[in-house]
Structure 1
Amino acid sequence: MKTFLNPIIPGFHPDPSICRVGSDYYLATSSFEYFPGVPIFHSRDLIHWKKIGHALTRDSQLDLRDAGDSGGIYAPTLRYHNGIFYMVTTHVYAKGNFYVTAKDPAGPWSEPIYLNQGGIDPSFLFDEDGKVYLTTSQNMQSEIDLATGELLTEPRQIWAGSGGNDLEAPHLYKINGWYYLLCAEGGTHHGHMITIARSRSPWGPFESCPNNPILTNRHRAGHDVQATGHGDLFQAHDGSWWIVCLAIRTGKTHFPKTHHLGRETFLAPVTWDADGWPIINHSGTLDIETEAPRLPHQPFPEESPTDNFDAPTLSPEWVHLRNPKPEHYSLNERPGWLRLKADANSSRKQQPTTCLLRRQTDFECTASTLLDFKPTEEGQEAGMLVWMNSRFHYRCFLSIRSGRLHASLLKQIGDITHLANSVEVDTLSGPYTLKVEANSESYAFSIETSNCQKIDLGTGLVRLLTTEVAGGFTGMMLGIYANSCASPTTADFDYFIYNS
């Protein structure tokens, strides 16, 4: 039996939802306060995935200006019906549930159609008789008018779950004459689990699976894979059944185990017992090494670890913190360089307003960039970010201190802002290479001048940026930024390299 290594989409990619069109597979994950929202992936073999774009790319679709840490876009559901892709999701603390449509999952996607049903984690079922059902957390359900989003029935709970807390992530399926309701319980941390029930009617009554939960690692203390849940069931084009779900990898951290890469997307096989109930991964548990699909491998061309900023548009790997100002980012003002601009006194509390971030996908990795930056006054800075959220992050940057150019390392840990190191550098020795070297224990920061002089700025503990310390629902991001608490400033970046 051939195996593969989970996760199929590493790094901060939680709440996966999948749909198949012929022999092509498309997958969406949640994105929270990052813009553009809801990354979309494509695969032909379920193992190799390529990010092809985002569903929410315009301010008119997604306004994140007031979204706090771990606010914004929660779990999406991706479905395909009669030649149209549907992505339904929740903008928490704002406009609630809505959906967008597209003929091409790479975009463009339509303007939102809002749904007058509360809860989170919305999901659609397109039934054989033409009816469309909307199900949200607490397994509340209504029938909707697909053209307008209008509710055709009053929402009502169709199953109270198996007894776990935080009943969420519902997906209703029609399989062999049964309506199966898959959902998550136990909260999205170490008690996470997937449960299922079925009925002959979409309105119930629903019979709980006698083997619930059908997936959990909550009893496997010390296992590297934890928090398994929030799944989406599907049939491959060869007839086999599978599930995508989220889980975390705790890596090689000491007890108590922590995680910082975020909740990631995993894949597991599904079989069916004699009574018609699904069995996940033959054991109801999840592992790194897992039985592989028997589909022919169709990998995508390997992408370069270096982004030279030579393309006319940014790679879909890059995201912004909330909605960006387009005029703050330029790929053509200095060809071959990315120019970041910061307005006068533009800094939000504890975070930059002009930045680009990408997900950290490996415990051990190195990120570096070449920065050309000439600040003229104190309060202007540019450099690299190791970012969990606005209250927990590290910044390695250039700035003016006491009239001299300095390379500095700043640590933001909760309400403690600590300038860990600041070293004067020669203003004539730029541009400067900034580097972050990561392992499961720490981040090491350094700067190198144009004459190859390397300055070690210090290290920061991974543990202080883990979800268990920092809270929230996101994962570690690496990136570049420019900021100003004074006059406007401009910083140029020649490349960004991410090596695992």
Structure 2
Amino acid sequence: MIQKPIQNPILRGFNPDPSIVRVGDDYYIATSTFEWFPGVQIHHSRDLVNWRLLTHPLTRKSQLDMAGNPDSGGIWAPCLSYSDGIFYLIYTDVKSHLGPFKDTINYLVTSEHITGPWSEPVYLNSSGFDPSLFHDEDGRKWLLNLVWDHRKGKNPFGGIVMQQYCTEQKKLIGPVFPLFNGTELGLTEGPHLYRHGDYYYLMTAEGGTRFGHAATVARSASLFGPYEADPAGPLITSADDPSLYLQRAGHASLVETQGGEFYIAHLCGRPLRPSMQCNLGRETALQRVRWTEDGWLRLESGGHHPLNEVARPLLPEHPWPAEPEVDHFDGDGLSIHFQTLREPLQEQWASLKERPGFLRLRGRQSLYSAFEQSLIARRQQAFTAEAETCLEYDPQHYQQMAGLVYYYNQKNYYYLFVSWDETAGRCIGLMSSDRGIYDEPLDAPISVEGWDRIYLKLTLDYSRLQFHYSSDGLEWLPVGPVLDAGKISDENAETVVGHYLLDQGFTGAFIGLCAQDLGGTGKYADFDYFAYREMEER
């Protein structure tokens, strides 16, 4: 039987900044989650071809308190490593990131098992972001991170630095060593350090995480440098060819298989065309790499462009069971694919117990809030997909709403909801927010007075988004116009006026359920199920 190759991207839909590690026969990749809770996604594979979402290590507010964090704050570029029987996870909780300053708090948690329990966090530093941990052969451990320079006229990407971490004292000790200021590509970040042969190799992300992104390599015979950049230029980038299927290639980490084969996990994006908007967010791909005779790392395919299909390693195939398309809310917990905004899911506002077989969401603050949103959602992971739900809900005021949301952040979303109107009574409405500009695409609300159950659905066909409603889940009627799904993307969220960056985003499209009660009475909606289905892409 012919075994299938690695098909990129391996982690589809908002799984950026990959940190890959092998432990025995198991491969794990940690990716950024930003303001979504629980923090950090860890995927698992045994053949580098088939991957499953395994766990989220940051599950407690004591590990990650993001109340009030800005959009695209929270978890940036975690680093997962393993040494002496212990998993180490380094992560940043970003409290602010617009303007000259970035408030970035770096922590470490550990666990004997990848699925936890993970420890309480150890504070490391706040000097910059993208921290990673290097375990040297002599037993010493070193923290690397980018230092952020806020001063006018300076390069804000102030270089990669390193400091020793003491496991006994649980803190950083000794001097801070500057290692690398980057290449002419600039925006040097995302450091990972490796030892191979006679050299230490520093892999960094450069060029910014948009379409100029790249991964570069520098090396030194000494841990403390100086580090010489690869004279051949970036290891991987898509910046010089906008026609490539995988764009934004960069931010990479290295892994060696049991048989001595080498791969990099790297960030990528698949833009809608012709808009070049990535509503699936930044994703993760794999490329096969080799060492040259003179000790540099190269893509095995040659050049520096990412491939859509990559030769698999010499490992037995290990598929995982297919994910169920429907969550009927009849178990003890929600699907692992659901996340919440900035805080843990709590029984007080999201209950599977109050009415067995239903998810009861109690309305709280608006979709503009950075504190208490009653919203659960999952990633969109294919260009063509549909999602649907059924709810029982009896709003008494226009400030009470519940329904199906297509969400990027507080300022960018589409929302099909059930509410109440003085004329229509219980009704269906549609709202949107585009860079914070609020709109209601319907001329008038649609009355659903007398309906016991209300079915809501959205369909996605690349850039085309259409909402629907039904009384029985069989006969569907469209709601409103075809909407632009490309607006639910990093590219649309970014706002630049002159030389000033006023807003930016690093996440991707989510589809979910939510409820609001702007009057503060906690009116609840009961959701019977949530279905997410992907169709074959053209």
Fold agreement, TM-score > 0.5: yes
Aligned AA for 1:109?
W
Work out the CA distance in 2 between the residues paired with 1:451 and 1:78. 44
Q: Select 2:411's aligned residue among 377, 388, 391.
A: 391
Secondary structure of the 2:239 match is: coil
1:448 aligns with 2:470: yes
1:460 aligns with 2:483: yes
1:379 aligns with 2:413: no
Work out the CA distance in 2 between the residues paired with 1:451 and 1:241. 49
Deviations 1:276-324 (A, max 9, x none): 1111242221022222223211011111111111220122101001114
What's the offset of the Cα at 1:257?
Answer: 1.9
Work out the CA distance in 2 between the residues paired with 1:444 and 1:127. 53
Mean Cα deviation higher: 447-456 or 377-386 = 447-456
Aligned AA for 2:420?
I
Whether the aligned pair in 1 keeps the contact of 2:61 and 2:344 (CA below 8 Å) is: no
Counterparts in 2 of 1:137-148, with a 5 A limit? 137=146, 138-148=159-169
Whether the aligned pair in 2 keeps the contact of 1:140 and 1:155 (CA below 8 Å) is: yes
What's the offset of the Cα at 1:350?
Answer: 6.2
Q: Which residue of 2 aligns with 1:76?
A: 78
1:497 aligns with 2:531: yes
What's the offset of the Cα at 1:222?
Answer: 2.3
Work out the CA distance in 1 between the residues paired with 2:210 and 2:320. 32
What are structure 1's unaligned runs of at least 5 residues? Answer: none
What's the offset of the Cα at 1:135?
Answer: 0.7
Mean Cα deviation higher: 328-337 or 153-162 = 153-162
Work out the CA distance in 2 between the residues paired with 1:399 and 1:235. 55
Counterparts in 2 of 1:182-197, with a 5 A limit? 182-197=203-218
Work out the CA distance in 2 between the residues paired with 1:485 and 1:479. 19
Aligned AA for 2:297?
P
Work out the CA distance in 2 between the residues paired with 1:386 and 1:348. 11
Counterparts in 2 of 1:138-287, with a 5 A limit? 138-251=159-272, 253-254=273-274, 256-283=275-302, 284-287=304-307
Q: Which residue of 1 aligns with 2:32?
A: 30
What's the offset of the Cα at 1:225?
Answer: 1.3
Work out the CA distance in 2 between the residues paired with 1:347 and 1:390. 9
Structure 1 pair 231–84 and aligned structure 2 pair: CA distance change class (3 A): same
TM-score, structure 2 as length reference? 0.89
Q: Which residue of 2 aligns with 1:425?
A: 447
Work out the CA distance in 2 between the residues paired with 1:117 and 1:411. 36
Aligned AA for 2:26?
D
Whether the aligned pair in 2 keeps the contact of 1:216 and 1:229 (CA below 8 Å) is: yes
Mean Cα deviation higher: 89-98 or 475-484 = 89-98
Q: Which residue of 2 aligns with 1:482?
A: 515
Q: Select 2:341's aligned residue among 305, 314, 321.
A: 321
Structure 1 pair 451–387 and aligned structure 2 pair: CA distance change class (3 A): closer
Work out the CA distance in 2 between the residues paired with 1:268 and 1:358. 27
What's the offset of the Cα at 1:370?
Answer: 1.1
Structure 1 pair 125–350 and aligned structure 2 pair: CA distance change class (3 A): closer
Structure 1 pair 347–451 and aligned structure 2 pair: CA distance change class (3 A): closer
Mean Cα deviation higher: 189-198 or 290-299 = 290-299
How many residue pairs match? The answer is 496
Work out the CA distance in 2 between the residues paired with 1:182 and 1:46. 21
Q: Which residue of 2 aligns with 1:134?
A: 143
Secondary structure of the 1:115 match is: strand
Aligned AA for 1:479?
G
Mean Cα deviation higher: 112-121 or 123-132 = 112-121
Q: CA RMSD in A?
A: 1.7
Identity of aligned residues (%): 37
Aligned AA for 1:388?
Y
Aligned AA for 1:181?
L
What's the offset of the Cα at 1:152?
Answer: 2.1
Deviations 1:432-487 (A, max 9, x none): 11100001121100110138553311221123223211131000100000111123
Whether the aligned pair in 1 keeps the contact of 2:368 and 2:411 (CA below 8 Å) is: no
Structure 1 pair 451–109 and aligned structure 2 pair: CA distance change class (3 A): closer
Q: Which residue of 2 aligns with 1:349?
A: 368
Work out the CA distance in 2 between the residues paired with 1:321 and 1:106. 22
Deviations 1:70-98 (A, max 9, x none): 01110000001111100001111256111
Aligned AA for 2:22?
R
1:123 aligns with 2:132: yes
What's the offset of the Cα at 1:429?
Answer: 2.1
Q: Which residue of 2 aligns with 1:103?
A: 112
Aligned AA for 2:407?
W
Structure 1 pair 451–396 and aligned structure 2 pair: CA distance change class (3 A): closer
1:10 aligns with 2:48: no
Deviations 1:225-255 (A, max 9, x none): 111111001101121000001000014x21x
What's the offset of the Cα at 1:387?
Answer: 0.5
Structure 1 pair 110–382 and aligned structure 2 pair: CA distance change class (3 A): same
Mean Cα deviation higher: 262-271 or 334-343 = 334-343
Aligned AA for 1:440?
Y
